[in-house]
Each structure stands twice: as structure tokens, then as C-alpha cells.
Amino acid sequence: MFKTGMRNLLGFVIGAFSAGLASVAFAQVPPALAGKTVKIIVPQTAAGASDSIARLMAGELTKRWGISVIVENRPGAGGNIGSDAVAKSAPDGLTWLMSYSGTHAINPALYGKMPFDPKKDLAPLASLATLPFVLVINPQLPYKTLAEYVAYAKANPGKINISSSGNGSVNHLLNEMLGAAAGIKTSHIPYKGAATALTDVMSGQVQGFYASAPSVMGQIKSGAVLPLAAAATRRAEALPDVPTFGEAGYPALAVDSWFAFFVQGATPQELKSQIHAEINKVLADPAIVAQLSQRGAATMSTNLDAFQKIVDQDMETWGATVRASGAKID
């Protein structure tokens, strides 16, 4: 009995030791970051999709790496202020940008003069997630489906007011795209941010808004807004009853909005690769997958070269949409 007990104890100790080694290997901080603080700059206000995803990742990396990974919001100029801060930071891997296709791919065509070169001064660090933008309306309106919405808009041109977070924003451009695809005319009401644009939908000041899924999940579940369709290539797991625009007959809006970390463009490739590999380990964790899914997002793990091609393609696609809409900020 004594020998059996000792064998069991020894087996437990060896198993625990092996698990500990695996945990250390899994959570290994890149040497250049050890003992230092990583700052993630979010170029939008708090409580939006970018902020939500950045804080989820910051908390997880802090726990796994044993260093401080903090989030700092620097909104303004459609995301250019925060992005410029990272573009002009030291190429040491300690300052990251939480960017998304709505700023990264749109702003170069929207702004007459950019304070930095997004292709040279910023480099992808890791893709994180994709998520839909959902057309939500005030639930008291007479139309309850996308087909009814389009029919009403055709019969009442200009009578539907659609808010956005600003001229040339993703929500503005998606509305322009649906207008062109469906042959309808709505009135665009630009706001200085997504929060007030959504609030005025709920109060009835405007009729609709294209909201990022994480920023509107609570309002959808509570019935404060009614979702009509999602701009994405497939339905979100958290919104299984909300069709995509593609399913509704408008494939031009079958676009996935990506969210990703970027660093200063001159950051050494080896350091980027080390950080990228660690972030992909986090994205492979079922608990993180579930938390992103609850926000209406899906994980997006790619290699850096493949993601750079996606970024370049989106800059061309969204740039063409901006030019077609006539939106311009000098």
C-alpha cells in the first residue's frame, strides 16, 4: 500500500510539474517585452467594438505574460490621432494600435492629407477578429424586415433618417452601398460618435443606424432596437436570427470588418513574429473564442503576410467606395 501511494504521489508530482512547464511555455512573454509595460492605443472612445476587444486581449495577455498590458483611448480625427501616435512611436514592440478596417482602410481615401503613411509607418502585428455591422432601427417603426424597410424607403424617398458616427465612417458607407444596391434614398445624419448615433435611434430622433455587433448586443437583446440585417459574409453565432445582407439579396454588403493589432512599421520582424505567435495562442483558447462570440465576433487568426494582403485589398475596395460616395475630409 505504501509503495502504491508513493507511486501515485510521484505520478501526481510529475504530472503537475509537466503541466507547469506546459503552462510556462504557453504563456512565455517575448524577451524584449519582459519586465516592461505594453500600451495598446485605441483610437476610438471607450465602450465600442475596438475598445471591447482590446480590453479582452489586454487582460488575457497581462495574466499570461505576467507584465502590464494596458489600454489607452485616444479618439479623434476618425481614428487618425491614435493611429498617428503609434506610427510615430519607437519601433520596440511596446506600443500597439488597436485598428479596424473602418479606419485603416477608409481613412487614406477619406482624408485629403494623412499625418502618416499607413502602409509604411504601421505594420500588422496580429489579426484578432471579424464582426458584422448590423442595421438596427427603432422598434416602433411600421417596417419590421429589411424588405419592408426597402419598400418603405422607395415609397418615401428621403423620409428615413440614418445616423452614422461621421462622414466617411463604415456606417455611413454601408448606408450608401445599400442605397445604391436597392435603389433607395435615405437622409444621412452624421454624429461625432457611435454612442449618440445609437442613442438617438432608441429615442426615435432618427430611424436607423449601422452598429458594430459588440456595441449593440445588449440593446438588441433588450428589444431597444430591432436588427434588420448584418453586413457580413455569414450570420453571427450570437445573432442567429439576423440575416446577412447577402442572404437578403444585396451581396455588395457581404463584407467582414476586421479588427487587428498594428505596431510601428520599423519594428523588427523577429519581434513581431514572437508577439504574433503568442497572440495566436490566446485566440486558440476556447474561452476567448466564446467571449468573442458573445460579443458577436469571430476569431481571425492569419499569418502576417496573408493579413497584409487582406489589408491592402480592403484599402482598395473601401477607397473606391469612399470615392463613389463623394465623402471627403480636408
Instruction: Give 11-36 pLDDT, tens digit per residue.
Output: 443 444 344 433 333 568 999 999 99
For 49-155, where are the alpha helices, taking DSSP H only? 49-65, 80-87, 101-104, 107-110, 146-155
Lowest mean per-residue pLDDT among 7-16, 72-81, 126-135, 315-324: 7-16
CB 160 within 8 A of CB 186: yes
**Predicted pLDDT of residue 2:** 39
Question: Model confidence at 330, in pLDDT bands (50, 70, 90)?
Answer: low
What pTM was computed for the model?
0.85
Average pLDDT, the chain: 90
Which residue segments constitute the domains of the chain, with CATH numbers given? 26-131+257-325 (3.40.190.150), 133-253 (3.40.190.10)
Rounded to whole angstroms, the Cα distance separating 330 from 40 reads 28
pLDDT at 163 exceeding the cut of 70: yes
Instruction: Give 27-62 pLDDT, tens digit per residue.
Output: 689 999 999 999 999 998 887 889 999 999 999 999
Instruction: Give 234-258 pLDDT, tens digit per residue.
Output: 999 999 999 999 999 999 999 889 9
Nine-digit cell at 265?
512599421
Q: Which strands make up the sheet holding 257-264, listed edge to edge? A: 68-73, 37-42, 95-100, 257-264, 122-131, 298-299
* 208-212 vs 133-137, strand pairing mode: antiparallel
> What proportion of the chain, given as a percentage, has pLDDT over 70?
92
